[in-house]
Structure 1
Amino acid sequence: MSFARPGQKDAYALILEAIDTGIYRPGDRLVESDLAERFGVSRTPIREALQRLETQSLLTRDGRSLIVASLDHNQMSELYAVRTELEGLAARLAARHATEEEILVLAEMVEADHALLDDSKALARANRRFHTQIHLASHNRFLVQQLDLVHRSMALMATTSLAAQGRGTVALKEHGKIVDAIRRRDEAGASAALREHISTAFVTRLKADSFSRETG
């Protein structure tokens, strides 16, 4: 089956999206010919896209093969440390710069996402959209670029913390607190609320990973 969308996305974007949405997961081997057939493009742009993804550490070598990279405990800790700082800054700047329309969209996102609580994958996608909207509301293009790199690396984690029992409900409450602080133009409060949100998600993920090691 071809997943190509001519005129919309190049090979790099198509492979990246496939990793981000879990079509290809950490440890999966990526083969040029298979990718070219799946996405309906020639092997040359596929090869160039794979090289670019390897440079960005989203793919790694296993002998002569390229596989989707995975994060060990230390790498995950480092990623969350960077994410916490950058996301906190984004929330602070959003409280300063977000338009009333952007704040309205954030509030509507939180409300709409309650309908997804029984679908952790859909909720994870909605969570990504919510955070991206905060990034954009910061009105700082360089920060948006760095956070995009961070969120690409988040795709290298095999599961979402939102799959943990009860985490979805708690996460949406945290999202509400972030939006309330942004609406009040409380820069410190918005930053603190988002940093706490990321910290709680990290704790949830650490617990899940610990449990999987015990039962694996």
Structure 2
Amino acid sequence: MSSADGAEIDATKNLTDAAYYRIREMILDGSLAVGTSVSVVALAGEFGMSRSPVRSAIERLLSERLLSRTASGAGVAAPDRLDLLDALAVRAPLEGLAARLAAPHIEERALEDLEAIHARFDHAMRQEDQATARRADLEFHQYIQNLSGNECLVDTLERVQTQVVLAAYSTAWTSSKRPAVLEHARILDALREQDGDAAQAAAERHLHNLTNRVLDEWKRLETRGHGNRGTNR
């Protein structure tokens, strides 16, 4: 393969990655809502790139189940309640492991970054700004997993976390998430002390508590007669 061919492959990969992360962000921040159709032509025009990298990005998102195939092509997936519970069950021990691996070698700069993310999450929750809270919540967890230094763990957790966020959009996102702010603070405290055992326990407890809050929210909605009857499989 010539150097020119190699450069062309690298350029295509970079464009595909750019399209992938942009579409993924649009899904996770709600710009592309659950059930919305995704058009290669429209996105390519919006991004100012050819259709090929956008098409490759969409195939990647289909494989990660953030998109699903439809009669017209592809659309933003609508995971059901069991999808969310499955993802949460897998995420808890993985989040714990990430926190445990990150704790012993965390540096002051990383702690400052995490504290800033946590402050944004806290502020968004106080303002009931759910979009910002979701982004800060995901950023907090992803920052910790990246500090773990384990690429396999990072890759696996990224997929599981996005499934949780997407499923929460289509099932339940309780506005009463103040406990999550305190739970993030406990994880931060353990990381600050470089205590791997405490960080792991705090991260796992946070995810178990999140699962319980989601279940409680579903019960509350069903009691009020607004349960999503179409989500059981």
Separation (CA, whole Å) in 1 of partners of 2:146 and 2:93: 16
When Rg is computed on C-alpha atoms for both structures, the one with the higher figure is 2
Confirm or deny: 8 A CA contact 2:34 2:169 kept in the other structure: no
Residues 192/150 of structure 1: CA separation in 2 closer, same or farther (3 Å cut): same
| Secondary structure of 2:32's aligned partner | coil
2:179 equivalent in structure 1: 170
Q: What TM-score do you get using the length of structure 2 for normalisation?
A: 0.78
User: Is 2:212 the partner of 1:203?
Assistant: yes
1:75 equivalent in structure 2: 83
Separation (CA, whole Å) in 2 of partners of 1:112 and 1:51: 33
Confirm or deny: 8 A CA contact 2:35 2:77 kept in the other structure: yes
Pick one of 13, 36, 39 that aligns with 1:31.
39
Separation (CA, whole Å) in 2 of partners of 1:157 and 1:128: 14
User: Is 2:154 the partner of 1:144?
Assistant: yes
Deviations 1:133-185 (Å, cap 9, x if unpaired)? Answer: 21122222222222122223234225399952431x22111111111112222
User: Is 2:58 the partner of 1:47?
Assistant: no
Number of positions where the alignment pairs a residue of Structure 1 with one of Structure 2: 210
Confirm or deny: 8 A CA contact 1:178 1:190 kept in the other structure: yes
Q: In structure 2, give the amino acid aligned to 1:144.
A: V
2:192 equivalent in structure 1: 183
Separation (CA, whole Å) in 1 of partners of 2:170 and 2:63: 25
Separation (CA, whole Å) in 2 of partners of 1:129 and 1:201: 17
Map 1:107-122 onto structure 2 (within 5 A): 107-117=115-125, 118=127, 119-122=129-132
| Secondary structure of 1:67's aligned partner | strand
Which range is displaced more, 81-90 or 8-17? 8-17
Confirm or deny: 8 A CA contact 2:81 2:171 kept in the other structure: no
Q: In structure 2, give the amino acid aligned to 1:87.
A: E
| Secondary structure of 1:156's aligned partner | helix
Confirm or deny: 8 A CA contact 2:172 2:217 kept in the other structure: no
2:4 equivalent in structure 1: none
2:226 equivalent in structure 1: 215
Separation (CA, whole Å) in 1 of partners of 2:210 and 2:82: 16
| Secondary structure of 1:157's aligned partner | helix
Which range is displaced more, 122-131 or 6-15? 6-15
Separation (CA, whole Å) in 2 of partners of 1:160 and 1:96: 37
Which range is displaced more, 99-108 or 142-151? 99-108
Q: In structure 1, give the amino acid aligned to 2:194.
A: R
CA RMSD, 1 decimal: 2.6
Q: Mark the runs of 5 or more structure 1 residues left unpaired by the alignment.
A: 1-5
Separation (CA, whole Å) in 2 of partners of 1:39 and 1:177: 40
Deviations 1:74-114 (Å, cap 9, x if unpaired)? Answer: 22121111110110001111222212332233234334533
User: Post-superposition shift, 1:45?
Assistant: 2.1
Confirm or deny: 8 A CA contact 1:71 1:156 kept in the other structure: yes
Separation (CA, whole Å) in 2 of partners of 1:163 and 1:156: 10
User: Is 2:141 the partner of 1:131?
Assistant: yes
Q: In structure 1, give the amino acid aligned to 2:67.
A: L
Residues 207/27 of structure 1: CA separation in 2 closer, same or farther (3 Å cut): farther
2:105 equivalent in structure 1: 97
Pick one of 33, 58, 79 that aligns with 2:66.
58
